Structure 1
Amino acid sequence: MTTIADPRSSHTTVRRSGPNLEKWGWIYMRVSGVFLVILIFGHLFVNLMLGEGISGIDFAFVAGKLANPFWQWWDVLMLWLALIHGANGMRTITNDYVTNAKVRRVLVWAIGLAAAFLIVLGTLVVFTFDPCIGLTSDSVDFLQELCAA
């Protein structure tokens, strides 16, 4: 009788005590996926279906949206969930296909650092966005009214 070796048995680890991070990562992927579908379709509906549609999306539209705390938090929540969701997926793929432990560890750290950097940068952009920077005399009337206040 021929037996087949356990796949990737060279780098399997023994279950340690404490929280099962793989289980919580799996649950996060399902829950965040549901929320992302709601957030993304809401984002697309507001931006493309309401108002003037795609032709109405310009700098003034984005500036107006990012001036509203509701839309700031909507966009930040979508950003956080999407980046963590994507990073967790990349981590899972890396764990499945990279057999060298040191390379796998470096790649997982690189994925985590890249996601953390993008989350911080994106959050700063959303909450510190100022449409009045670089305002000139020939700017759009909407911006002149907004920046005068």
Structure 2
Amino acid sequence: MFQILIETSSERIQAIDSLVLQFNLEQLINLISQIPTTTGGLELEELSVSIKISEHGQVILLNGSQGTGAMTLKFKRSTTSPNTYEKLENLLANKLWQEANQETWNLLCVAIHKKLGTSLTTQDIDQIPNATLNAIDKLWHKYSDGKFGFTVQSRIYKESR
């Protein structure tokens, strides 16, 4: 499903043939719908298309304002892969706590598109998807017999205040 956002310039808008415009926009949407939304562990996050609509209703692809081309695709790392947490789960199952801790950090960095090993700010942490936090927490809780995990740490922190 596509959400279309149309931005207009301050140029005077002339009456155009709506059927021609509709046909040309449908052609563009058909082209865009053929772009795969996932590839190589990446998900399409944003697609920008620079177009001009002629006075005759033709849709013309334009070069981007900074030489980016008529179409810009932004991808993000997919966090929904079934194998995303496999390494962490194996480390936890084997009670390799330090390695699992490092893998947890790596997963958090990946979730917010940060370089592995980067320190995370409060703002970064706020960007981590709840699904990622919940999945990691459940694994830690399960394999540590309820001794480790974000919810355990949170409870201990609250009790110490």
Q: TM-score with structure 1 length normalisation?
A: 0.26
Larger radius of gyration: 2
Q: TM-score with structure 2 length normalisation?
A: 0.25
- The structure where helix makes up a greater share of residues is 1
- The structure where strand makes up a greater share of residues is 2
